[in-house]
Amino acid sequence: MTFDEKVQNTQNGSPGAPRLGLPAYQWWSEALHGVAGSPGVTFQPSGNFSYATSFPQPILMSAAFDDALIKQVGTVVGIEGRAFNNYGNAGLDFWTPNINPFRDPRWGRGQETPGEDPFHIARYVYNLVDGLQNGIGPANPRVVATCKHFAGYDIENWEGNQRYGFNAIISTQDLSEYYLPPFKSCARDAQVDAIMCSYNAVNGIPTCADSYLLDTILRDHWNWNQTGHWVTSDCDAVDNIYSDHHYTSSLAAAAADALNAGTNLDCGTTMSNNLGAAAAQDLFQNATLDSALIYLYSSLVRLGWFDPEVSQYRSLGWSDVGTPASQQLANQAAVEGIVLLKNDHKQVLPLSRHGQTIALIGPYANATTQLQGNYYGTPEYIRTMVWGAQQMGYNVQYQEGTGINSTDTSGFTAAVAAAKAADIIIYAGGIDNSIEAEAMDRNSITWPGNQLQLIDELSKVGKPLVVLQFGGGQVDDSALLTNNNVNALLWCGYPSQAGGQAVFEILTGQSAPAGRLPVTQYPANYTKEIPMTDMALRPNGITPGRTYRWYNDAVIPFGFGLHYTTFDVSWVNSKMGPYNTAALVAHGGKSKYQDTAVFDTFQVKVKNTGKVTSDYVALVFASTNNAGPKPYPIKTLIGYARAFSVKPGETQTVGIDVTLGSMARTAANGDLVLYPGSYTLELDVGQHYPHAELTINGPEKVLDSFPQPPLS
């Protein structure tokens, strides 16, 4: 390739090199929760490849706490993406998943993530990438996944602080403990083929120009340096190095800095337009440009892009898209993730299905694409709430009542009239992409518009009232929890194509709810207590702390979820150990990385003491008051497992593998350390199940020495 040919192929819409027979290639395809609209993806107007399976948004799928489900979803998306590619309707590189922790409830893109807990996200991404790429670091991946946005990215535009120029000030401890573990799982453990650097800077350096992040940590420390692994910028993030961060004196310098730091592909044209000028100024070496292209094109070689028609994966086609099994999996993912937040003493749920009339009211009651959230594709169908009610045999009286953000009350009269004429009132509302979206953060975490006013009026009708809360984030439900006439409340996230079917399966008891909140529901005044730009996790006397690890005044806590039945959950052994750090680390040496070695497998007995068959998610948290650096987290999730279809009277025993890394704590310098001391293990959230105690003896043991940032 000539120098100019090489430079031109550093952009996402790579033109190739026609004189060499190298075709053009679009690196940018999307598949956040199914093959999605993007520059690289084409949905045909009808017939073959006119649709793909649309799974729920990640925030809802993660609420299932079902790792096997996530791998299955990744497998379907990878197969459908490859089938699309085989017939010229998509690329092979999908810029998913978004694994930035959902740190602040105002973040507009929180719906795209698996939630607020880095341990949970790490397991989610490991299983999703395993499914998408067809294995852990496969020699010939089915498609390439791209973990984004590396790193410290979770602000869109809050009070004038735009993502394009935001400088995230993050301590080494918080970076290692909270912001990076999902990326470590993705890069080091799952060996994903691509990583996307983010718009923001971290401690003064734009991430796409930060060799400490892209080289020292990512490629060297995490052993992510194989041929075929590559880094792309977020779109126009290379331009932002100069134009928004003002980190360089020119676009040419920005392009060179990104290339030198380890950004191999520019989503945009800053590199392709300016590397020529940068070369004239000797701002980079030609060998660095060659390396970038070798990373990129060797990935396409591994994908089989250059191979003949008979090569691996070439048999995938239209018959592999939207299969009955994948459509059922989309429904299962929604059902497993839906969370029951309230079901009062009247036990309105599950609903009877004997010829009743339902007043189905609210802006989500007949919503279609709104159920998909963002980064969505075209599904074969979307099951609305009205459709779901009708399929269950209800006589449906539908009224919108109000819009999501509306202050117009003119629809209240018709809505209340429909409620009075019905046996049951179901209000379907919440938040949507107009106030939680890319490039936009929320200023408030209250219910938007006049929805609470309408719900209050409906609650006075005197009929059973169920509220369905949609949206990726959480809004303060205090008014609904304390209103005795609101009988039940479910969080439904963005359930996508199977939404109405899944929701009414739960409402009628055809399936039992077992999802758990993957985020904290904060009180409305939380947004006044801490600025969104404060990246610190720990409370400091002025700010209240973030996530369930550091904040203890939640309206509804992380991990909460009710059931239609009752459970008695207990430890097989309530006292474990004692353990010894030296012995644990010696045993862990058999693993490739000490932090992934098994600490122990805790056995938990789950007995269904009620009358409804139900799944149950066993969450295990650890807390301590004498081990590790102070201040101590309130508690930390260290393991979970989902018990399936536990019948009334049945007891299932589930094993929960806990790793050395999840029992360890992060020192101020970022090292992951296994500390001696006493620990309390807690089961579940909001339940009074027995605790277990364990003791770890011996000296402190560093499991992972964190690379120290360069001196400024």
Catalytic positions, please?
A: 234
Instruction: Quickly count: other Cβ atoms within 10 Å of residue 414's Cβ.
Output: 14
- In sequence order, the β-bridge partners of residue 501 are none
Q: How far apart are CA 550 and CA 633, in angstroms?
A: 6
Q: What's the CA dihedral at 654, 660, 662, 665 to 10 degrees?
A: 150
* C-alpha to C-alpha distances, 281 to 2, 11, 245, 416, 553, nearest whole angstrom: 19, 21, 22, 71, 56
Phi-psi region of 341 (alpha: psi -120 to 50; beta: other; left: phi over 0): alpha
Buried b (16+ CB within 10 A) or exposed e, 72-105: bbbbbbbbbbbbbbbeebbbbbbbbbbbbbbbbb
Residue with tokens 């010696």: 586
| E-only strand ranges, 431-560 | 465-470, 488-493
C-alpha 300/C-alpha 14 separation (Å) is: 13
Burial class (CB in 10 A: 0-12, 13-18, 19+), 611: exposed
Determine phi and psi for 573, rounding to 5 degrees. Answer: -130, 125
Which helix H or strand E contains 599, and what residues bound it? strand 598-608
Query: Which has the closest alpha carbon to 149: 201, 188, 73?
Result: 201
Residue 263, amino acid = T
| CA atoms of 394 and 354, how far apart (whole Å) | 8
For residues 421, 422, 423, 424, the Cα torsion angle rounded to the nearest 10 degrees is -140
What is the spatial distance between Cα 383 and Cα 369, in angstroms, rounded to a whole number?
10
CA-nearest of 39, 49, 51, 42 to 12 is 39
Token pair in block for residue 592: 């490739």
Q: 17 has which bridge partners?
A: 22
Three-class secondary structure of residue 336 per DSSP: helix
Q: Indicate the pairing of strand 157-158 with strand 567-571.
A: unpaired
- Three-point CA angle 138, 302, 376, nearest 5°: 75
Closest among 352, 360, 412 to 386, alpha carbons compared? 360
Q: Are 201 and 247 in contact (CB under 8 A)?
A: yes
Largest CA distance in the chain: 78
The CA dihedral of 250, 255, 258, 262, to the nearest 10 degrees, is: -150
| H or E element, residue 580 | strand 575-580
Residue 668 carries which DSSP code? T
CB-side exposure of 643: number of CA atoms within 13 Å? 24
